[in-house]
Amino acid sequence: MDPEKAFQLRSAAVWAAVIAAVHFALGTRTHSVHGLHILLAGLFMVPVLKAAVAFEVRGGVIAAAAVGTLYLGHILWSWREALLANADQFAMIGVYFVVGISAGHLVKTANFRKWQRDEVIRRSQPPSMGVVNK
């Protein structure tokens, strides 16, 4: 794995771990922290996007599954007495997948277009002396 991809993977993992830790630490004792829970649920998009940028669709899907699992754990733990009190939270798991797949496809398309451009440039240059093009 190239260093940039390894960095993006580590960064995504750190983001997910920190967000999950804060999510669980906040608890649901008061309604005033509910806004922070919503913000944290949205911040789970960051590791999904980082993974999609580094590993295209596969990375987006894997990261969506990972953060979706973390978020589901939070929902089941924090809202075990009334799971459907905030049913919209379950929908966020689906949103992670939509974002991961969409971002992954966009990155894949951009990478392919970059490859096409580089290939056209490479083919338009005259062959170097003594070097055989394949």
Q: Which residues contact 53 (CB under 8 A, 6 or more apart)?
A: 8, 59, 103, 107
- 131 torsion bin: left (phi>0), alpha (psi -120 to 50), beta (else): beta
Q: Identify the pLDDT of residue 134.
A: 55
Q: What is the pLDDT of residues 28-51, one digit of tens each?
A: 766 777 788 888 889 999 999 999
Q: Identify the pLDDT of residue 93.
A: 94
Buried b (16+ CB within 10 A) or exposed e, 28-65: beeeeeeeebeebbebbbbbbbbbbbbbbbebbbbbbe
Q: Collect the ranges in the chain with pLDDT lower than 50.
A: none
The CA dihedral of 55, 58, 63, 69, to the nearest 10 degrees, is -170
Q: Identify the pLDDT of residue 133.
A: 56
Q: Do the Cβ atoms of 94 and 64 come closer than 8 Å?
A: no
Q: Identify the pLDDT of residue 88.
A: 77
Which residue ranges make up each domain of the chain? Answer: 3-124
